Amino acid sequence: MKLDEGMLEYFRDMVSEMMERFDISRAEAVARINERYGNLEISPYPDLMCHEFPEFWAYGAYYYPDGKDRLPTGDADADADIDFTQLPIRPLPPKGSPAWTLKDDSE
């Protein structure tokens, strides 16, 4: 995906959120984002995507929706009734897939 500098920074913020919130490596966060959002047409900053905070999109790259079709938003008040322990985690992109653009140092 080609991004201008503003959108690149937005996606970097998303990676940082994922690393902090889900305790995953940078390589894994980037791979999850690439797999989930890599085929989107992204406009220069501020793309429509920017109407939500990066954590909103980070949750969508990490979790599947719950039984009520809800994903966390990153807002503590809005997410108060979501049981994070019950959210299904999306599987990792397959090793060797194009989603893995960084070396995973955890191997």
List residues bridging with 89 in a β-sheet. 63
State if pTM tops 0.85: yes
Q: For residue range 22-49, list pLDDT tens digits in order.
A: 999 999 999 999 999 999 999 999 999 9
Q: What pLDDT sits at residue 107?
A: 56
How far, in Å, are 58, 97, 100, 103 from residue 54 at the CA level?
Answer: 6, 24, 20, 23
CA neighbor of 37 nearest in space, from 62, 73, 16: 62
Give the pLDDT score at 2: 84
